[in-house]
Structure 1
């Protein structure tokens, strides 16, 4: 993962990209999981994304070394904030269907302990929500640069979770009142497709059961 940063930017048509590790369990812990990694990349369109994620040399090497890989293809519908000083996603027209939510934050060093005290409770609540089809916590830098990614059947299901009183809502209030983050980004995407499996199954299959 570390060495890939020297070559991934040379991949034809790739735009904004990030190489990320994960935490243990579902990623929502400060303890690193050396078995699960994530690549986030933007492309001009879905066709190029599908072709390059299968055929580009870097991605072929990852797939060859992996016991399992899963790629989800997304179209951004809204974005607020910045990531490494940039707005990485270009919004497109919204459509009906399953959606994904991504939050990314640079946690202020002096606020990191407060942040991580909140995370287990939030992970437990989202994990018990019957509507969430997939969730994971990943990050660029352990403890300080954190990303959450989740997939939902529709906007109402995601909004109901976000607005419901509980650990998540209280954490959001603390973020604002205590000024936890030096930089933050919130984005939504429509789910366009997938390739591969996660844990031997398609995470998107659950969306059909929910709908």
Structure 2
């Protein structure tokens, strides 16, 4: 398998641009479905701060897409009209290209990511989790999130982190990039995050969940004025 996953983050400035981006959560769907060679795709909003909050951030949006290979991903993101419209309106955008290394679970009832035949855990890795929270357990779920957010925000090892989602409160996606598998695993097992994972298993918080790990292939654009992947990880 050679599937490539792209995640593009867009930051919008003026109110008019933010209103446009919000409207595109619904209006962009037909155009996204017509992009040649695109596979699975999702339009996502984000939370305030680093994204790990239930309060929407009207400035930051993301598009997750799958492609048959890296060359196709680059070409479609550059040339497709819907992606061009986002770039023109955004004050800043950053795309990361990923190769799926391990996946378990489902997203909207399907398996969106095809694990690569080439396993590469030697460099930086990205982790993505997506869950549909049971409505009756939303309060319990979101009461745990601030503790996790504070811990990941203080972790010197994380290169990038954000919380995004399709539907506020019910659908939550976390995305983070780490220097290596060992430091990613150390965070996942410890502190509030480890406690939350145990609570998910013991109390059954989610109707649907997906966990995926990716090797980083490349990136383009900037976030906060620079590429998060150029951060010194020594």
TM-score (norm 2): 0.88
Equivalences for residues 1-211 of structure 1 within 5 A: 1=24, 2-92=26-116, 93-95=118-120, 96-164=122-190, 166-206=191-231, 209-211=232-234
* 1:27 positional shift: 0.9
Structure 1's unaligned 5+ residue stretches are: none
* 1:94 positional shift: 1.0
146-155 vs 22-31, which moves further: 22-31
* 1:198 positional shift: 0.3
Q: Distance in 2 between matches of 1:186 and 1:87?
A: 11
Match of 2:7 in 1: none
Q: Distance in 2 between matches of 1:201 and 1:117?
A: 33
SS in 2 for 1:159: helix
Instruction: Report the RMSD for the aligned CA atoms in angstroms.
Output: 0.7
SS in 2 for 1:174: helix
Deviations 1:49-76 (A, max 9, x none): 1111111110000000000000000000
Q: Distance in 1 between matches of 2:71 and 2:59?
A: 29
Q: Distance in 1 between matches of 2:76 and 2:179?
A: 27
Runs of 4+ aligned structure 1 residues displaced above 3 Å come to none
Q: Distance in 2 between matches of 1:101 and 1:129?
A: 15
* 1:18 positional shift: 0.2
Structure 2's unaligned 5+ residue stretches are: 1-23
Deviations 1:82-124 (A, max 9, x none): 0000000000121121110000000000000000000010011
Deviations 1:120-162 (A, max 9, x none): 1001101111110000000000000000000001101101111
Match of 2:4 in 1: none
